A and B are shown apart, each in its own frame.
Chain A
């Protein structure tokens, strides 16, 4: 299992209700079901992924995140999770609000655009960065909102979102010392647990 999923799993209280936005093939939900006895649903737009979820016995609901979470009631989940999806949606801010409306807490992960290699590519080579965590060219990337750890924390501050927990990982999803000391420079993937008072 990817260390990122293990980390998320550590953050989740057993037996809770979880909504996974952009759940892909359902790996996280299957993992959480097994190790944390959570119940929940994944939202997914890609039909091939939906069929994979169904084959794996993961609850999946065909939905377009861009349409919001209107079908879900306030605080109807303990956690709303969004792994590697926030940078690929159009209405980033709305979706963050929706996450923290539907979930008592939110968990997000995203690739850090402030990673030093990205900075070098832009500053010295004059090219849009391509990295292990950002493996696309500028013209075919699904990532339409690229942002850094500092950007994200600034947004949270402005929106009065509480950062309850943070982890910064390298490209292999390992929590190394470097990323911990200089997250925005050496971290490639950021994980946050969020809440709103």
Chain B
């Protein structure tokens, strides 16, 4: 007996795979001779093909952004299900929503866990490090396949927001609106430092085997777990952690044990998050994604002036940040806005009060969702989805 999905859900969804035989030249100088992109779509493309919205995922996200994969399990919706569906801010009655797993990922698109046709073994560490620009080019090819000449909007949070920005620079005429959420124009030294500690945790795990752990039948569990625990701290805010965990000891721990067991709630939470992550994510992909983040710097090709990079953009922008986000703080979003204003681009900026830290971009915060809803309602009017 199939479970009932909520009425404002896109319901049961089935990922699709698009195979590409045309080689894709990458920024690193290498190229992928052929590759797969796994993606999901919700809603219907209108006859004008003008209502397509691309959602770009962040570090640990994938193509499963809304709806359910398992008919019998309504407990695990896509990662941004609270925002996408009939009647939700990104309304699937108005838009044709597309989300793909990025190259280098571990959820079906070609990446380190895929078989390298040259060696007949998993790519592992031989998979080329891809850039945000490479992703955007690969997403553009998917758009070609789907018959989408111009996106009504490209939307992303964090690393996803970076892709939205890059889209407007690489394919100016193919993006009508870009929604850049909790992002930064490039990583700070502190951001790169956190990524480096995460990488070192993985690289120094004895089970890592220079990235060829698949061949040894093991996983660098400890390293990936520590990387994820560290990441998680940067996704939360001090005030949020204080409110959620405080200094509470976990159940069954009335007093200090004076040893290194899990005693505080926050320790228990982080270990749980780390362990759960190891079962669903690949360490080589994690390494690759952090490098992609570190390398992102669209201004670099424009004399290190972001506003020059945006000169070519034609999109209208909505930039959103969250007050307690210290990973990509509001100040970083304001840098983006400043560059957009100097470039004379159409742009709006909202700073959402929240104590969820960087994670806020995934939360159904009323003001955040009202902002998205207002903006997307306006896009829906423009792309004329009711004409038919």
Interface stretch among A2-10, A46-54, A104-112, A142-150? A46-54
The reply to whether the CB of A91 lies closer than 8 angstroms to some CB of chain B is no
List, in ascending order, chain A residues with CB within 8 A of B348's CB. Answer: 41, 50, 53-54, 58-61
List, in ascending order, chain A residues with CB within 8 A of B378's CB. Answer: 54-55, 57
Q: Give bound CA distance, A76 to B342, whole Å.
A: 8
B-contact 0/1 string along A65-85, CB 8 Å cutoff:
000000111001000000000
Q: Give bound CA distance, A108 to B385, whole Å.
A: 41
List, in ascending order, chain A residues with CB within 8 A of B337's CB. Answer: 61, 71
The reply to whether the CB of A62 lies closer than 8 angstroms to some CB of chain B is yes
From B318, B342, B350, B375, A73 is in contact (CB under 8 Å) with B342
Residue among A51, A53, A62, A71 with most chain B CB within 10 A: A62
Chain B interface, number of residues (Cβ within 8 angstroms)? 21
Residue among B341, B342, B351, B375 with most chain A CB within 10 A: B341
- Which partner residue on chain B sits nearest A43 by CB separation? B349
- Which partner residue on chain A sits nearest B317 by CB separation? A59
Query: Cβ of A51 and Cβ of B371 under 8 Å apart?
Result: yes
The reply to whether the CB of B15 lies closer than 8 angstroms to some CB of chain A is no
Is the contact region of chain A dominated by helix, strand, or loop, or is it mixed? mixed
- Which partner residue on chain A sits nearest B320 by CB separation? A62
Query: Cβ of B318 and Cβ of A54 under 8 Å apart?
Result: yes
Interface residues of B in 233-263 (CB under 8 A from A): none
List, in ascending order, chain B residues with CB within 8 A of A39's CB. Answer: 344, 346
From A50, A54, A58, A72, B341 is in contact (CB under 8 Å) with A72
Interface residues of A in 19-44 (CB under 8 A from B): 39, 41
List, in ascending order, chain B residues with CB within 8 A of A180's CB. Answer: none
The reply to whether the CB of B32 lies closer than 8 angstroms to some CB of chain A is no
The reply to whether the CB of A17 lies closer than 8 angstroms to some CB of chain B is yes
Interface residues of B in 350-383 (CB under 8 A from A): 350-351, 353, 367, 370-371, 374-375, 377-378
The reply to whether the CB of B338 lies closer than 8 angstroms to some CB of chain A is yes
Smallest CB-CB A-B distances: 10 pairs? A55-B374, A54-B374, A61-B349, A62-B351, A62-B350, A60-B348, A71-B338, A54-B375, A51-B374, A57-B378
B residues lining the A interface (CB < 8 Å): 318, 334, 337-338, 341-342, 344, 346-351, 353, 367, 370-371, 374-375, 377-378
